[in-house]
Amino acid sequence: MVVIKKFYFFVFLFIFFISNNLAASRILDHETENFISSIIAEIKNTNNINRDLKFTIISSNEINAYVDQNNLIYITTSLIENCEDYVALLSVIAHEIGHIDRNHISNRKSSLRKLKNINSLSNLSIIAGSMISNNPEMLKGLAISSAGISNVNINFSKDQEREADYYSLETLKKLNIYSDSIIKLLNTIEERSIEKGLTKEMIKISTHPYFEERIDIINFINQHKKSNYDSNKNIEFKYIRSKYLGYNGRLEIINKLENPFKAYALSILKAKNGDLKGSLKELNRLISLNERNIYFLETKGDILYSYGYTNESLKFYKQVLKKLPENLYAQIRIFENMEINELSKDNKNELFYENLNLLEKFYNNQKILSTYLNLSMDSKKEDWINFLNFWINKKNDKEIIKIKLKEFKETNDKDLISLINIILKNIS
């Protein structure tokens, strides 16, 4: 029974790491991030976009995607779960990129400044329009906080939403890909909306084109032509989707999946429900049938870790990191569980420099900071000791923090200067 309790304590720490930099609902998953980055690269290339486009994944039961005033794209876990294939997800992301590429955000902000009796953008609805965000909260125009995110988002006009729809579908046309999954996704959203009490009349007065109009547009532009549908890419997406379905216990969808995706989702769901033996049996069978899928090993490591089998899990994380050296989430697991006191002075120094990328990426992670403070004290790195003591115990005053950080930049340590510059850039 002790093991089961320990499991539920770690249940959200499988592959989905909770970020210490944003709201507690941000999802950090190497496989998903790589996949979405590849989709964004495809959209950028076909539309000749040179700007950097950033995204984040958040845990939410809302099937949604939106952009904020800083052009950051938010993608919910429920969106991933309800896309039957990668084309549906690509179409939604292309819609959001359409808002960015067509400068809808800056145009909307400019028009809003002309309105009278509005003291700040925080008085406006913060849900940005997306191909699929139709919900009562948006229709009421209330200022809400989505997943605790403090950035203000823009509620686009119906014309801008329609333009973003066309942008998405024209992108699919340029890529020569089509799938009925796009319409199926819209139908799912419509069903969800009706369940929440939305009517056609309510949607007509919202900023979004109505579902029927969108489906007509999809059929007109694509006309079910021969498609360059990427089956291998879709297999990759299906494993990702199965992982989310398993973690979130979406049995009604899992039961409709074909194998091996159903088996993968069930192996995760069994672990979540306390059946470690059944989970590992299912997962081991998948690993034996597909040894090239390194993410199966990462999932196994996550499950073992969540049940408190730390040493066993680290063996799998090390295998993952060997194959995927850029996988920070496997690296952070290993780093956080190092027995530092058992290392020699040289090994501690090596550990210090080998993992600086973690400190740069997760500079608010208290466990990483504490480990680095210990390493700095053992190596007598005085500038690092002073900085880390300040940073760990800092008060929430941005101006004082900036002043102190600039003082710490007087050091001759280039690595410390680089870290401070990264922090200053992100908090300015």
Quickly list DSSP for 6-33: HHHHHGGGSS-EEPSSS-TTEEE-HHHH
Q: Which tokens belong to 228?
A: 């360059």
Domain with 415 in it: 340-427
**Residue pLDDT, tens place only, 202-222:** 544 444 544 454 545 555 455
How far is residue 27's CA from residue 13's CA, in Å, rounded to a whole number? 10
* 283 and 201 within one domain: no
Report whether 283 contacts 272 (CB < 8 A).
no
Please indicate, yes or no, if residue 18 is contained in any of the structural domains.
no
Q: Is 180 helix (H, G, I), strand (E, B) or coil?
A: coil
Q: What is the pLDDT of residue 200?
A: 54
| Neighbour count for residue 149 (Cβ, 10 Å) | 19
Of 204, 222, 240, which residue is a domain's last? 222
Please indicate, yes or no, if residue 29 is contained in any of the structural domains.
no
* 266 and 374 within one domain: no
Q: Which tokens belong to 198?
A: 């939305």
Residue 226: Cβ-neighbour burial (10 angstroms; 0-12, 13-18, 19+): exposed
Q: Which tokens belong to 235?
A: 């297999």
* 255 and 145 within one domain: no
Element of type H or E holding 28: strand 26-28
Dihedral (Cα; 34, 35, 39, 40), 10-degree rounding:
-30
How far is residue 81's CA from residue 201's CA, in Å, rounded to a whole number? 28
Please indicate, yes or no, if residue 27 is contained in any of the structural domains.
no
Report whether 165 contacts 134 (CB < 8 A).
no
How far is residue 193's CA from residue 198's CA, in Å, rounded to a whole number? 5
Please indicate, yes or no, if residue 123 is contained in any of the structural domains.
yes
* 153 and 265 within one domain: no
Of 180, 202, 222, which residue is a domain's last? 222
* 316 and 206 within one domain: no
Q: Look-up: residue for tokens 């005033």?
A: 69
DSSP character string of 234-256: HHHHHHHHHHHHHHTT-HHHHTT
Report whether 385 contacts 376 (CB < 8 A).
yes
Amino acid 332 reads I
Distances (CA, A) of 38 to 43, 221, 236, 298: 9, 24, 12, 21
* 372 and 309 within one domain: no
Element of type H or E holding 268: helix 261-272
* 216 and 68 within one domain: yes
Q: What is the pLDDT of residue 71?
A: 87
Looking at residue 307, which CATH number applies to its domain? 1.25.40.10
* 414 and 367 within one domain: yes
Distances (CA, A) of 58 to 10, 65, 193, 416: 18, 10, 20, 31
Q: What is the pLDDT of residue 144?
A: 26
How far is residue 69's CA from residue 228's CA, in Å, rounded to a whole number? 34
* 358 and 255 within one domain: no
* 165 and 96 within one domain: yes
Q: Is 39 helix (H, G, I), strand (E, B) or coil?
A: helix
Please indicate, yes or no, if residue 20 is contained in any of the structural domains.
no
- Torsion angles phi and psi, residue 76, rounded to 5: -90, 155
**Residue pLDDT, tens place only, 48-67:** 999 999 999 999 888 889 88
Please indicate, yes or no, if residue 240 is contained in any of the structural domains.
no
- Torsion angles phi and psi, residue 66, rounded to 5: -160, 170
Residue of 257, 251, 226, 214 lying closest to 239 (CA atoms) = 257
Residue 418: Cβ-neighbour burial (10 angstroms; 0-12, 13-18, 19+): exposed
Please indicate, yes or no, if residue 227 is contained in any of the structural domains.
no
* 124 and 174 within one domain: yes
Half-sphere exposure of 32 (CA within 13 A, CB side): 25
Please indicate, yes or no, if residue 23 is contained in any of the structural domains.
no
Q: What is the pTM of this model?
A: 0.79
Domains held by the chain: number: 3
Amino acid 258 reads E
Residue ranges of the chain whose pLDDT lies below 50: 1-24, 111-153, 203-207, 209-211, 213, 215, 220
Distances (CA, A) of 219 to 16, 178, 179, 183, 395: 36, 10, 10, 9, 56
Strand order in the sheet with 73-76: 17-18, 26-28, 55-58, 73-76, 65-67
Amino acid 10 reads F
Of 222, 240, 262, which residue is a domain's last? 222
Residue of 155, 132, 103, 108 lying closest to 218 (CA atoms) = 132
* 186 and 51 within one domain: yes
338: left (phi over 0), alpha (psi -120 to 50) or beta: beta
- Torsion angles phi and psi, residue 275, rounded to 5: -95, 75
Q: What is the pLDDT of residue 135?
A: 31
Any bridge partners for residue 74, and if so which? 56, 66
Q: What is the sign, positive or negative, of the torsion defined by CA atoms of 363, 366, 371, 375?
A: positive
